Amino acid sequence: MNDLYTILQTHAARYPKMEPTDAVKLLYQSEFGGGHLIANEDACLAYLRTEWERTPKNPEAPLVEDIGGKIVRVMLAAIPDADAVEALGRDFIRSAANVHGTREGFLEKLALLRRVTAEGQFAFSLAELDEYLSAYERAGYPAVSHSETYRRLYHPAYRVLRREDFRGQT
């Protein structure tokens, strides 16, 4: 969990306007991956191509962002061409079949998030996080979306997969 502690600190600094839902999304993805998005492989690949085409390219953007649990976010802004997008899509689908987190592991990560928040690492308070987590628990710990603030400020466009399944350059 020490690596995850550092990852949470890094994300708090890199994305200072993160809200509780954004931090929970990070931890959810680090435990369960991104496979909850795949219902149909062809549709998944088509959606990825469309999202990549709409994403402004940024050769300065990091290609991968570590989110813990040997899971990474591969940033679409850093993907140079359509062939690389197709390869990423295949890697993403393959990876989704290989990520099997546990509720217990996720709850441990949420406990670490509380600790990091209590230390003042995030812009939100522990009280705000606890209020969010209370409602989140009542909802059954579902996958969540980024906050509107996070989407507006940071324009997230990525795919989540196991580092070992990503065949792109790292």
Decide if 48 is inside a domain: yes
pTM score? 0.92
What is the distance between the alpha carbons of residues 49 and 41, in angstroms, rounded to a whole number?
12
> Are the C-beta atoms of residues 60 and 77 closer than 8 Å to each other?
no
Range of the domain at 65: 2-165
Position 112 in a domain = yes
pLDDT value at 78 more than 80 = yes
Instruction: Please determine, for residue 170, whether its predicted confidence score (pLDDT) is greater than 50.
Output: no
Calculate mean pLDDT across residues 3-16.
96
- With respect to residue 100, please indicate whether it lies within any of the assigned structural domains: yes
**Phi, psi for 73 (deg, rounded to 5):** -100, 125
